[in-house]
A and B are shown apart, each in its own frame.
Chain A
Amino acid sequence: MRRWPALVGLHLALGIVAVATLLPFLWMLSASLMPAGEASQWPPSFLPSRPTLENYRALFHRLDLGRCFLNSAFVAIVSTALALLIVSLAGYAFAKLHFPGRSRIYRALLTAMVIPAQVAMLPLFLLLREVGLVNTYWGVIIPALAPVFGIFMVRQYALSLPDELLDAARVDGAGEFTIYRKLVLPLLRPILVTFGVFSFIGAWNDFMWPLIVLTDDRKYTLPVALANLIGEHAQDIELMMAGSVLTVLPVLLLFLVLQRTYVEGLTMGGVKE
Chain B
Amino acid sequence: MTAGGRNRVSRSRREARAGLAFIAPALALIAVFFVIPVVAGFLLAATDFDIYAVGDPATTRFVGLGNFATLLHDPVFWKALGNTFYFVLVGGPLSVAVSLGAALLVNARLVRCKGLFRTVYFAPVVTTMVAVAVVWRYLYHPRFGLLNQLLALAGLGPVNWLGDPRWAMPAVILMAVWKNFGYNMIIFVAGLQSVPATIYEAARVDGAGPWQQFRRLTLPALRPMLVFVGVITMVGYFQLFTEPYVMTNGGGPLNATLSIVMYMYKQGFRWWNIGFGAAVALVLFLIILVGTLVQLRLQKGRE
Which residues does A use to contact B, with CB under 8 Å?
A: 3, 6-7, 10-11, 13-14, 17-18, 20-25, 27-28, 31, 39-42, 44, 46, 85-87, 89-90, 92-94, 97-100, 102, 105, 109, 112, 114-127, 142-143, 145-146, 148, 151, 170, 175-177, 180, 201, 204-205, 207-208, 212, 222-224, 226-227, 230, 237, 240-241, 243-245, 247-248, 251-252, 254-256, 259, 262-263, 266-267, 270-271, 273
Asked whether B89 is an interface residue with its Cβ less than 8 Å from the other chain, the reply is: no
Assess whether B134 is in contact with A240, with CB atoms less than 8 Å apart: yes
A-B contact pairs, 10 of them (CB 8 A): A120-B41, A126-B274, A127-B37, A146-B30, A223-B129, A230-B246, A243-B131, A244-B131, A248-B128, A255-B122
Assess whether A252 is in contact with B127, with CB atoms less than 8 Å apart: yes
Quick one: which of A28, A99, A115 contacts B285, CB cutoff 8 A? A115
Assess whether B37 is in contact with A120, with CB atoms less than 8 Å apart: yes
Assess whether A89 is in contact with B26, with CB atoms less than 8 Å apart: yes
Asked whether B130 is an interface residue with its Cβ less than 8 Å from the other chain, the reply is: yes
Going nearest first, the 8 A-B pairs with the smallest beta carbon separation are A176-B18, A99-B19, A97-B19, A123-B40, A93-B22, A267-B190, A244-B131, A120-B37
Question: What chain B residues lie within 8 Å of A86 (beta carbons)?
Answer: 25-26, 29
Assess whether A119 is in contact with B285, with CB atoms less than 8 Å apart: yes
Assess whether A177 is in contact with B121, with CB atoms less than 8 Å apart: no
Question: What chain A residues lie within 8 Å of B182 (beta carbons)?
Answer: 21
Question: What chain B residues lie within 8 Å of A240 (beta carbons)?
Answer: 134, 138
Question: What chain A residues lie within 8 Å of B32 (beta carbons)?
Answer: 127
Bound CA span A97–B24, Å: 13
Assess whether A222 is in contact with B119, with CB atoms less than 8 Å apart: no
Interface residue total, chain B, C-beta cutoff 8 A: 94
Assess whether B130 is in contact with A28, with CB atoms less than 8 Å apart: no
A271-B268 contact given A142-B33, A223-B128, CB 8 Å threshold: no
Question: What chain B residues lie within 8 Å of A3 (beta carbons)?
Answer: 110
Assess whether B126 is in contact with A201, with CB atoms less than 8 Å apart: yes
Assess whether A42 is in contact with B117, with CB atoms less than 8 Å apart: no
Assess whether B25 is in contact with A255, with CB atoms less than 8 Å apart: no
Question: What chain A residues lie within 8 Å of B189 (beta carbons)?
Answer: 267
A-B contact count (CB 8 A): 280
A273-B139 contact given A10-B108, A24-B132, A248-B128, CB 8 Å threshold: no
Bound CA span A267–B41, Å: 35
Assess whether B187 is in contact with A267, with CB atoms less than 8 Å apart: yes
Assess whether A105 is in contact with B119, with CB atoms less than 8 Å apart: no
Assess whether A93 is in contact with B30, with CB atoms less than 8 Å apart: no
Bound CA span A176–B191, Å: 38
Assess whether B144 is in contact with A21, with CB atoms less than 8 Å apart: no
Quick one: which of A177, A259, A270 contacts B18, CB cutoff 8 A? A177
Bound CA span A208–B262, Å: 10
Interface with A: B8-16, B80-88, B197-205, which one? B8-16
Assess whether B15 is in contact with A98, with CB atoms less than 8 Å apart: yes
Question: What chain A residues lie within 8 Å of B30 (beta carbons)?
Answer: 109, 112, 146, 148
Question: What chain A residues lie within 8 Å of B19 (beta carbons)?
Answer: 93, 97-99, 102
Bound CA span A102–B12, Å: 14
Question: What chain B residues lie within 8 Å of A122 (beta carbons)?
Answer: 37, 41, 44, 268-269, 274, 277-278, 281
Asked whether B166 is an interface residue with its Cβ less than 8 Å from the other chain, the reply is: no
Question: What chain B residues lie within 8 Å of A25 (beta carbons)?
Answer: 123-124, 127, 135
- The smallest C-beta distance from B86 to any residue of chain A, in angstroms, reads 19
Majority secondary structure of chain A interface residues (helix, strand, loop or mixed): helix
Assess whether B16 is in contact with A99, with CB atoms less than 8 Å apart: yes
Quick one: which of B135, B264, B281 contacts A244, CB cutoff 8 A? B135
Interface with A: B58-66, B67-75, B236-244, which one? B236-244
Question: What chain A residues lie within 8 Å of B235 (beta carbons)?
Answer: 116
Among A41, A87, A118, A151, max chain B CB count under 10 A is at A118
Asked whether B178 is an interface residue with its Cβ less than 8 Å from the other chain, the reply is: yes
Question: What chain A residues lie within 8 Å of B144 (beta carbons)?
Answer: 39-42, 44, 237
Assess whether A123 is in contact with B44, with CB atoms less than 8 Å apart: yes
Assess whether A21 is in contact with B23, with CB atoms less than 8 Å apart: no
Asked whether B294 is an interface residue with its Cβ less than 8 Å from the other chain, the reply is: no
Asked whether B220 is an interface residue with its Cβ less than 8 Å from the other chain, the reply is: no
Question: What chain A residues lie within 8 Å of B151 (beta carbons)?
Answer: none
Quick one: which of B23, B121, B238 contacts A90, CB cutoff 8 A? B23
- The smallest C-beta distance from B159 to any residue of chain A, in angstroms, reads 16
Bound CA span A114–B186, Å: 23
Assess whether B105 is in contact with A252, with CB atoms less than 8 Å apart: no
Assess whether A124 is in contact with B242, with CB atoms less than 8 Å apart: no
Asked whether B282 is an interface residue with its Cβ less than 8 Å from the other chain, the reply is: yes
Among B111, B132, B245, max chain A CB count under 10 A is at B132
Quick one: which of B12, B121, B146 contacts A18, CB cutoff 8 A? B121
Asked whether B94 is an interface residue with its Cβ less than 8 Å from the other chain, the reply is: no
Among A21, A89, A119, max chain B CB count under 10 A is at A119
